[in-house]
Structures are given as structure tokens and as C-alpha cells.
Amino acid sequence: MRQVTPQEALSRKYPEWIVLVVSCAANGQVNVMPAGWSMVCSAKPPLYAVSVSPKRFTHKAILDSRAFVIAAPGPDMGEAVWYTGNHSGYDGDKMPASGLKTRPGTATPVPLIEGAVFNLECRLVQQVETGDHTVFVGEIVAAHVDDSVEGRLMNFGDGIYGLAQLVESTRYEAK
């Protein structure tokens, strides 16, 4: 084993989950940003955390609405993930060109992404400044799944998205 920089070691974490963070600014503009830095952080109450740079329009929009949606992109959303990650909401409404379709949420003012594996509506309960990012923690106040979507998009690094495939399955039992 050799010692390396944290960046070099972290480059080996791929593939990773990628989620779409949906937010809504005070002027009503809906925004979507892909994020790899996210996780479930509590079961009771159900909480989800996502890390967002203060430079991003998504950061402002989450603070505006005090809510966000976490959507797991389906297998056909690769171009939308790339597009929304390479265009800023500060430059205008990127939703029409993204190809993503939305429908109203049921518990927050933030819309859901149609065709996503799941959508988690989150009410902002905490924010933590962590260096150059803010970790937003949201209580999951409503959850939605689309049973017709099979597979989910994964981030393989360097702008490459695809489906992760299970090659072999082994179950380990506690002894």
C-alpha cells in the first residue's frame, strides 16, 4: 500500500450513485443539479443529506424554498444529467432544454422528476457549512417511486454515466 493525495484516493470511489437535486427559487424558477455527494443520514426521522457549493444556483434555490427533491435518474436520463450539470440556473431556466419532465410534488413546492426511479420530497431541517460546500439535510416528507423504471444511472467519473450491472451475487450471513 502506498500513500497518495486524498484526491487520488477519492478518484477510485466510482461508480457512485448520482442523484438529481431539484429546487425552486423564490421567483418560481425550477432548477436541477446532479450531485454525487449525497446520502441517507437518518432512519427515524427519515433524513437525506446533499452537499452543494454556495456558488451554485441550487444552493440559493434550496435556501429560498427551504425544500428540495432528490430524484434518482432512470437509465434514459444520461443526457439530462450531463446537461443540467454543465449549465447554470444563473444563466436562465435550463429545464426546457434538459428534456426532463416534471409534475407537482405533494408535500413541498418543489416538483418531481417524471421517469426517475424515485423522488424524495425533503423539507430543509439543517444546513452545515463544510469547507467549500454546504451540507443540506432534509426530512423526507413524501416519497414516490416509478415501478416501470428498471435500473438507475450511475456516475463512473469523468462525465461518464451508465447502468451498473450485478456480475455475481453472494450473500454473507452473520455468524
Q: What's the whole-number mean pLDDT along residues 140-169?
A: 82
Residue 66's contacts (CB-CB under 8 Å, 6 or more residues apart) are: 123, 124
In order of their start, the domains of the chain are 16-163 (2.30.110.10)
Q: By C-alpha distance, which of 67, 10, 63, 57 is closest to 32?
A: 57
pLDDT score for 166: 59
pLDDT score for 157: 80
Predicted confidence (pLDDT) at residue 85 exceeds the cutoff of 70:
yes
Q: What's the whole-number mean pLDDT along residues 74-85?
A: 92
Tell me how far apart the alpha carbons of residues 134 and 66 are, in angstroms, rounded to a whole number. Answer: 14
pLDDT score for 168: 66
Reported as a single tens digit per residue, the pLDDT across 16-63 is 889 999 999 999 999 999 999 999 999 999 999 999 999 999 999 999
pLDDT score for 54: 98
Give the number of residues written for the chain. Answer: 175
Tell me how far apart the alpha carbons of residues 24 and 125 are, in angstroms, rounded to a whole number. Answer: 16
Give the phi and the psi of residue 97 in degrees, each rounded to 5: -80, -15
Reported as a single tens digit per residue, the pLDDT across 128-147 is 999 999 999 999 999 999 99
In degrees, rounded to 5, the angle at the alpha carbon of residue 149 between the alpha carbons of residues 146 and 151 is 125
- Provide, rounded to the nearest whole percent, the portion of the chain with pLDDT above 90: 77
